[in-house]
Every structure is written in structure tokens, then in C-alpha cells.
Structure 1
Amino acid sequence: MKRREFFRNGTLATLGATLFNPFSSVANVLNPIATSGKAKNIIFMVADGMSTGTLNMADMFLNRKYGRSSNWLGLYRESRGTRALMDTASASSLVTDSAAGSSSWGGGVRVNNGALNVGPDGKEHKPILQKFKEAGKAVGCVTTVPITHATPAGFCINLGSRGDQSKIAELYLPLKFDVMMGGGNDYFSAAKRKDAKDMYQQFELNGYTVIKNRTDMLAQKGGKPILGVFADDGLPYTLDRNQDNTLQDTVPTLAEMTKTAISIMNKNSKGFVLQVEGGKVDWAAHGNDAPALIYDQMAFDEAVGEALAFAEKDGNTLVIMTTDHGNANPGLFYSDMANADFDNFQNFKHTNEWVLKQIRKGDTASRVVEQIADAQHIAITQAEANDLLKYYNSVSEEGLYNEANLPLRKLAEIQQKYTFVGFGSMEHSADYVELAMFGPGSNLLKPFVKNTDLHNLMLHATGMI
């Protein structure tokens, strides 16, 4: 498809968005900062695995506890920015995985699930951050999961299978991207890697500054490429971090990583392109872990706030907010006490994963009831506690990101009786997902797009094509 056939004239595009988008207005679409000109910078925000219900519940939580909107839905309420729906399919399935989802943006084509910018025919498609790096822009990724995980990798490298994260760490080395931060010590440390390669040393020898804690990250001023790794695997869930002073001192939030990356990369006179991923949103959805899901979505929204604040002040930055796919389709369902039931989450101190890791084989039902009451302020029954204990004695519950075989689904089912938040599954969904943009280039967004359309949109918004 030719570019002029896909990208409508700016006035027609914004008129179309107005007709199909009840949250936009003529006054807004004529805002020169929001809709006209070329973008010098792009901040691409991904709440991985964010079903619409996840976005909604985080906003409802913020409204009920703090009396304010989420930054994302605040754009809609205030008629700022542009909104669309996005089709997330991969080449091999209506239901994408994160590798194919990110590759659709990164390489501009649909690939099979599991592949990173390698098409079904074996052809490699240059990832978008490599294109922007060659154009002279600063580029990078920050995430709450391993920096070698599928979503950041989809913007960066070509590989037939997402599974070899140690290989992905090696492929990052020659790219000299400006900022790469997240978890993933397992794939850089000589003590953790199967081949005993010291990738930290290799990155340092190639001119990188390697940082491993929050204090050192906050002190960074740029000048050299930065590799920041703050956990063996993914970073801790936000709710659990909030209860642990050591984690708060040593592990940065996604908002802090985002703000630091922007401040460093903004020194480049030709601009920057940054991908920001709330990757633990997806992990929480896979675990049907409602408290983890809501609090990590709110943490992602804090990062959205940092991006929007910078973009509003800068005037040359396009902020894109979306997800690669839905996951588990959670939501708050009807009960006579729906408000009070949902407000129970305001008293939670820990995620379901944290709670289940405290339970041991041989614990009594009374002890389990007490543990959950202390961590989550809900009083389950003795019978429900015994149902959980069965899994520690004989039953195994497997699942993605559940290496400890914790009874995550069972606790979610029990918890639903006290919060009325339920889940449709523990897997990705084929739902069309939310997509929003703010800043120069947002006028290019049509009301309904395919995920691959965003590749050329970014190139077009920055004048690359």
C-alpha cells in the first residue's frame, strides 16, 4: 500500500477521528502542538497484556482512592490526544504473543508467534530502533521485565525464536543503543549464564556504563551508553515493592527509569526514540493476580505521566500509548456491594504471588486464613484455605511465569468472592486494544488500525519517510 493511500490528509484524518471518537473535539484537533508538524522524539508506551478491563480498573481505583483520573484516561476525559482501536493479530494466529506483537511495530510486518522480526518466509526485517539509530537519534528501551524479553527485543533485534534471552543479550552488544534498562541479570551475569560468559564485562569493554541499583541510575547524566539491570528476572511487583524498604532503595520504578532515560536521551540534538514497557502487567494477568495487575498498571500510568509531562513542555514529542494484546480479560462484576468489594484492594499490602509463596506444606488452614488476612485484609473461610493447601500437598498448577507451580488460579477464584474482580482465562486474547497518541504526528492515527501500521506511522511522523 502506498503511503498516501494509508495516511490521510491531516485535516481529513482528524475529522474522521472526531466523527468516530466521542472523546475528541474540533477545538482539540486544531491544537497545533497536538496534531501538526513533525515529531523530533517518540516515546512508545506499552502496557504489555493490558486488556481494557485492566485499564479501566486502574482508573477506577485512582478515582475512588485519590479522586483523580489515570493519566491515560485523563486524555480522553479532557479531549486531548487521539484515540483508536488496534487489531493485534500475528502472522500465525488471531491471538498474538509479545514477540510477534512487538515485531509488528518494530519490523512493520506480521511474523509468526515466537519470532522477532523474522517473517514466515525467513526474511529478516530491520527493527525500527536500528533505523532511528542510523538516522542519528538516541534510542533505547526500559521495562519491568528482563530487558532481553520479547517486547523490547522486538524493537531491537532479529531472531527466529524469542526464547534464547542469553543470545538476545549478545545481539544487543554491538548495537550501542543509548539506554537499556530493566531486569535480566540471569542473561548477563557469568554466574547465571550456562556458558559462563560475563556479558557485563563485554558491555563495559564496548563503552557501556553498567548500573545495577536505583541510586546509581538516578545519578546518571549520560555521555556513554547505559545498561541497567536491577533484578535476576523481572522486577518485583509494585505492590510488593511498596512494602519493602530495601526494594524501594535498590530497584527503580518504571516512572523513574522513564524520566531518567528521557533526560539522558534528550541531550541528542537529533532527538530520541524510547520504548517503555510495563511488562509485569502481562505477568500478573497470566497469574490472574488482581492486586498485582492493578498496582502495576497504575505504576505504568505513572510512567505515562512522566512521558506526557515531558511532551507537553517539549512540544516536539509524540507519545504513543497501547498494548501488544489483551490478557485474561479481567473486570469488576456486579454484586450488591460492588463498590465496597472493589475498594478492598485499597487495603491490600501484597500480591497473590507473594502470599502464596509464604504458604508451606504442612501449614494449617487457620494459619493460611491469618496470613491472607494480614496481607490482603480479606477473611477467607477454613474450607477455602484447605482448598489452597491441597495444591501444596498433591496438586500442581502450571502456567506461564509460574515456575513455583503456585495455585494462582485457585486463589483468584477464592478472591473473586471478596472483590468481585474476575478473569476470563489465564492467556492472551484476540481483543482489539486501546491505542492513544499525543503530540505531533497524532493526526496520522486513523480510528482503526492494524498493529503493523504503527511502524510506518512512526517513520512518517518523524519525517523518515
Structure 2
Amino acid sequence: MKRRELLKNGSLALGGLFLTPFTAKANIFKEEFDGKKAKNIIFMVSDGMSIGTLQMADMYSRRKLGRPSHWLSLYEQNLVQRGLMDMASASSVVTDSAAASSSWGGGHRVTNGSLNIGVNGEEYLPILQKFKKAGKKIGLVTTVPVTHATPAGFSVYSKSRNSQEEIASVYSGLGFEVIMGGGNKYFDAAQRKDKKDMYTVFRNKGYSVARNKAEMNAAPANKPLLATFDEDALPYSTDHLSSSFMKNNIPTLAEMTSKAIGQLKDDKNGFVMQVEAGKVDWAAHGNDISGLIYDQLAFDDAVKVAVDFAKKDGNTLVVITTDHGNANPGLIYGKKVDENFDRIQKFSQTNEWILQGISSGDSTAKIKERISQANAGIMISDDQAKEIQSYYAKAQMEDGVYNPRHLPFKLLSQIQQEYTSVGWISMDHSADYSEVAMFGPGSEKMKSFMKNTDMHTFLLKVAEVENKF
């Protein structure tokens, strides 16, 4: 075979076997990591990601950007170990995020709604506190409130995931080096029930406090950092991309991940960080296809940041997973399925933006125009617009916005299905086994199928931290 043909085919024949360059590279990575300790761990969670969400985001990336998603690219290049995880809670085969994160954080299955509190009231010390006691720096990064279920499940114990003001107070005593995401209202004295100014508490403990992207970027690496960029959760990525104000003031998940790594990476004992794309779950609850795909892709960008760092560092284990399925979206067969799916590339706003911008007095023409503006010229019928409008007579306002449970999210997704070919089985969590991938030292020890609570022991073991706390 001529050298030119060899290079063109991209393969090398050895004793009848064919090794692609990707396979060779993957083997080098795996050999390099074999037997090494995971000095650093970056644990990444796309909250509420069904397999259909992962697949559609990858398909979108291939068709729109001309490349696979970063997550699936790791599979294609054989750079990661891959498996499935049983995420059942102590109270149900369908978990919520609090019990799911607690199974990893505390190493025990707990009832839905609780954080590291056993069925008989036991308090399980969360894994980030164990790593902190072992001398590692700790980080939390999320697109929802930093006090929300997933980061809290790695960090604290509480009878209720809804005790977010209390969780903010507990955080102040943990000494974590990075806490970054949404949730200003749980730290702001004017909005807390006890009127306690948690920002002052953190500043008095030596923290930098950031409320926007510029302040985040300016935060010094030699001080711990608390950053909250919105009152509750951060905006959906779709809406973020369409707003200059949001782009200038609110960082993406990838930008937060990069900043957090910069804050943590130089410690001699290493670091452990959880990164969560929390609004993937929220979009699935709302059957919001634009919110779902763009936030999954934002998570995918953060995956690239983490893996790129891990490749250079050589001592970092990256875990990429989800805590449960949600709504199980997927493409439905039909003559226009390709055309319909590609239409989503032109969606400029989420369904949340559409529905929160409608009021009870709006005409059908105005409703139709708003949907057309957000959804690439889709023109719904007058009857469909009237059905949407009918919800607003009973919708209630809370903190200046409508309670989303009173708005026609399901109806709008059903209307959109004709134009997107995306179907949903529900608006809630499902009992799917969770996809899990690992890159870096310790990944070779991963089992192809595991129970959620096994993850707790696994992370401590690969980091060579004794489970004695």
C-alpha cells in the first residue's frame, strides 16, 4: 500500500488488525492514566438529561455546526469509559434531583426531597465535605441557584431540599473555594426571611463576591469566590444568546467552569468540583425544545473546557453524567422530520420567553406574532392562539412573572410538534438508567453498570482519600 493511500484511509495494518489514529490515541491516554491517582475530580451533571436529549443535541451539532457534540466526540474517539447507572431513590424507582445527588454525595439512597438524611434520620456526611477535610479545594458551579438540589446534595444534609436560605447559611461555614451560579435571593438580606446579609457573612470570611461576569473575571485567584448572577436560575441559553445585556453580564456555563478551574487548579492537594447544567431539567419539565437543546449544548461546551484541562493536566478525572431522565423527548418518524428538526436551528427564544410575554388582554394576532418571532416564522391557527390565550384568565403572578405551572407549556409543545417532529412522553422525571462517561485517572476502574451509591465510594477510592470522616 502506498503511503498516500495509507494516510488517506487513516488506518494502519498490524498483523491483520486495523488501528485508526483515534484508537491509537485513546490507548495512549488509557495507558497513561492506568494506576494513577485522581488528584483532581470534575463531576459534571446535565440534570434531567434523557438519552433523547443527548442524541438531539449531538444531531443538532452535526447538522448545524458540522461536528459532533463534544460528549459524543469522546465516544467516537474512544477516549472515555462508558456505562450506565441505576439512580433509584429510597422512596421510588423515579428519583428527584435531591435524592439523586445525595446518593453520590452521601453514599446512601435517601427519600425524594431530602438531602443526605437517611430514612431513619441518619445524617450522612457529603462527599465534598470529606474531600475538604482531606485538604482539597472545593468548587460548585451551576446554572440554577447554587443552593439547589444537585449542588446541595454534594455539600450538605437537610430534611428538605427547599430550605435554600438555610443551605446558603450552611455554605458560609464550609470553606468551599468556589460557589457560582444563580440564587441571589437566598443570600440577599432584603429577600431572606431572617433579613441576614449572607454576602457580608461571606466577605467577612475572606470571599470575593461577584454579581456579574466582569466581577467574576476580576476576582483574584488567591481568594475564595461566591458569585450569583441572577435572582433565581440563570437564563436559558437560547434567551441568553439573543440578549446583549445577558451576554455581557451573565457568564455561560463554560465560562464559569473555566474561571472555577483557574481558581482551584494550583493547590498542591488538588481540587474537586461539581458542574451542573440545571436548566436542562427545567426545559424538559416545560417540554421546551429550544431551551433543552441549547442548554444541553452549553453543558457540552463546559465538557470541552473540563476535558481540555484534564488532557493537559494529566491528573484530573472528569465524570460526565445525568441524575435522571426527564420527559424523554425524541424525534418522531415522518416525511418532514429532517426539515422540521432543522427548523429548531432558527428558533431564537424559548417557550418560557414566549409564554411569560403574553398577558390576558393580548389578541390572538399578537400571540401568533410572538410565537412566529421566536419560532422561525411558524404561524399557528387562530383557534390554537385562542386556546393558549384562555390559560391567562386564571394564571397567577408570582414575583412579577407567571407561575409556570399555570401556563400552557404542554399545549405549546404539542402545537410545535407539527413543525419540529419532537414528541415528549410527559413533563416529569423518568426512571431511565443514567448515562455516565469518565476521562482521566481512575476511569479504567469504572464498571459498565453501577448503583448510584457506588459512585461515592468510587470517587474517594480513585482520589485515594480514606472514607473515615
Match of 2:157 in 1: 158
TM-score (norm 1): 0.92
Counterparts of residues 302-341 of structure 1 (less than 5 Å): 302-341=301-340
| Match of residue 188 from structure 2 | 189
Displacement of 1:315 after TM fit?
A: 0.7
The size of the alignment, in residue pairs, is: 441
C-alpha separation in 2, matches of 1:86 and 1:397: 39
Q: 1:101 to 1:25 in 2, by over 3 A?
A: farther
Letter of the aligned partner of 2:237 in structure 1? T
2:18 paired residue number: none
Q: Residue 397 of structure 1 contacts residue 407 of structure 1 at CA under 8 Å; is this kept in 2?
A: no
| Paired residues for 1:275-294 under 5 Å | 275-294=274-293
d(CA) in 2 for partners of 1:312, 1:357: 43
- Provide the residue aligned with 1:87 in structure 2: 86
Q: Once the 2 structures are TM-superposed, how far is the Cα of residue 33 of structure 1 from its aligned partner?
A: 3.1
Question: How far, CA to CA, are the matches of 1:461 and 1:415 in structure 2?
Answer: 46
Q: How does 1:408-423 map to 2 (within 5 A)?
A: 408-423=409-424
* 1:109-128 correspondence to structure 2 within 5 Å: 109-128=108-127
Measure, in 2, the Cα distance between the counterparts of 1:419 and 1:363: 26
Quickly say closer, same or farther: Cα 1:305–1:402, change in 2 above 3 A. Answer: farther
Q: How many angstroms apart in 2 are the aligned matches of 1:254 and 1:24?
A: 30
1:395 offset after TM fit, Å? 7.0
Give 1:390's aligned residue: 390
Question: Deviation of residue 403 (structure 1)?
Answer: 2.0
Residue equivalent to 2:61:
62
Q: Map residues 312-461 of structure 1 onto 2, 5 A cutoff.
A: 312-377=311-376, 378-394=378-394, 403-404=403-404, 405-461=406-462
- CA positional deviation for 1:363: 1.6
CA contact (8 A) 1:24 1:82 kept: no
Verify the 8 A CA contact 2:182 2:232 in the aligned structure 1: yes
Q: Which amino acid aligns with 1:346?
A: Q
Report the AA paired with residue 271 of structure 2: F
Structure 2: which 5+ residue stretches go unaligned? 1-21
**Per-residue displacement from partner, 1:348-381 (whole Å, max 9, x unpaired)?**
1100010111112122222211111111111212
Q: Spell out the pairing of 1:243-254 with structure 2 (5 A cutoff).
A: 243-254=242-253
Q: Write the letter of the residue equivalent to 2:139.
A: G
Match of 2:230 in 1: 231
Indicate the RMSD between aligned Cα atoms, in angstroms: 1.9
The 1:380/1:443 distance shift into structure 2, 3 A limit, reads same
In 2: Cα distance, 1:25 partner to 1:48 partner: 33
What secondary structure is seen at the aligned counterpart in 1 of 2:172? helix
Alignment partner of 1:174: what SS?
A: coil
* Paired residues of 1:287 and 1:402 also in contact (CA < 8 A): no
In 2, are the aligned partners of 1:34 and 1:438 still within 8 Å (CA)? no
Q: Is the 8 A contact 1:116 1:153 kept in 2?
A: yes
Q: Distance in 2 between matches of 1:402 and 1:80?
A: 45
Contact 2:123 2:157 in 1 (8 A): yes
Deviations 1:235-260 (A, max 9, x none): 00000011111111111110000000
Partner Cα separation in structure 2 for residue 324 and residue 33 of structure 1: 29
What amino acid sits opposite 1:48 in the alignment?
D
Distance, in Å, in 2 between the alignment partners of 1:283 and 1:291 is 12
SS at match of 1:435: strand
Cα distance change of structure 1 residues 334 and 181 upon mapping to structure 2, 3 Å threshold: same
Cα distance in structure 2, aligned partners of 1:220 and 1:312: 26
Q: Specify whether residues 394 and 155 from structure 1 end up closer, same or farther in structure 2 by C-alpha distance, changes over 3 A only.
A: closer
Distance in 2 between the 1:71 and 1:380 partners? Answer: 35
Question: Using the alignment, how far apart are the partners of 1:402 and 1:374 within structure 2?
Answer: 21
Q: Aligned partners of 1:26, 1:87: CA distance in 2, in Å?
A: 31
- Give 5+ residue unaligned stretches, structure 1: 1-22
**Using a 3 Å threshold, how does the CA distance of structure 1 residues 26 and 246 change in structure 2: closer, same or farther?**
closer
Which structure has the bigger radius of gyration?
Answer: 2
SS of equivalent residue, structure 2 residue 173: helix
377-386 vs 346-355, which moves further:
377-386
Is contact 1:146–1:182 with CA below 8 Å preserved after alignment?
Answer: yes
Contact 2:95 2:112 in 1 (8 A): yes
Q: Residues of 1 paired with 2:402 and 2:59: CA distance?
A: 28
Match of 2:8 in 1: none
For residues 135-284 of structure 1, the aligned pairs below 5 Å read 135-284=134-283
Once the two structures are superposed, residues 412-449 of structure 1 have per-residue CA deviations (whole angstroms, 9 ceiling, x without a partner) of 11111110111110111001010000000001111111
Give the residue type in structure 2 aligned to 1:431.
D
Give the direction of change, closer, same or farther, for the CA distance of 1:299–1:402 in structure 2 (3 Å limit): farther
Q: Which residue of 2 aligns with 1:8?
A: none
Distance 1:154 1:373 in 2: 40
- Deviations 1:27-51 (Å, cap 9, x if unpaired)? 6387223443111100000000000
Residue 343 of structure 1, CA deviation: 0.5
Does the C-alpha gap of structure 1 residues 410 and 317 become closer, same or farther in structure 2, counting only changes over 3 Å? same
Written as runs of structure 1 = structure 2, the 5 A alignment for 1:33-44 is: 33-44=32-43
Contact 1:25/1:79, CA 8 A, preserved across alignment? no
The one-letter amino acid paired with 2:408 is P
Please tell me the residue identity of whatever aligns with 1:385. Answer: A
Q: 1:226 to 1:397 in 2, by over 3 A?
A: closer
CA distance in structure 2 between the partners assigned to 1:269 and 1:143 by the alignment: 25
CA–CA distance in 2 between the matches of 1:264 and 1:341? 43
Q: Is the Cα contact below 8 Å between 2:29 and 2:79 reproduced in 1?
A: no
Does structure 1 conserve the Cα–Cα contact (< 8 Å) formed by 2:142 and 2:275? yes
Q: TM-score, normalised by structure 2?
A: 0.91
Secondary structure of 2:142's aligned partner: strand
* 3-state secondary structure, aligned to 1:152: helix
The one-letter code matched in structure 1 to 2:452 is N
What are the Cα deviations for residues 204-257 of structure 1, in whole angstroms up to 9, with x where unaligned? 112211111101111223212111010000000000011111111111110000
Shift of 1:78: 1.1
Structure 2 distance, partners of 1:228, 1:408, is 31
CA–CA distance in structure 1, aligned partners of residues 32 and 319 of structure 2: 15
Alpha-carbon distance, 1:150 to partner: 0.5
Q: What SS does the aligned partner of 2:348 have?
A: coil
SS in 2 for 1:44: strand
Distance 2:228 2:25 in 1: 45
Larger displacement relative to structure 2 (385-394 or 265-274): 385-394
Q: 1:369-412 deviations in whole A, cap 9, x for unaligned?
A: 111111111121222111111111347899xx972422111101
Identify if the C-alpha distance between structure 1 residues 24 and 110 changes in structure 2 by more than 3 Å, giving closer, same or farther: farther
Residues 26 and 77 in structure 2, CA contact (< 8 A), matched pair in contact too: no
CA distance in 1, matches of 2:461, 2:394: 57
Instruction: State, as a whole percentage, how many aligned pairs show the same letter.
Output: 54
Distance 2:154 2:368 in 1: 45
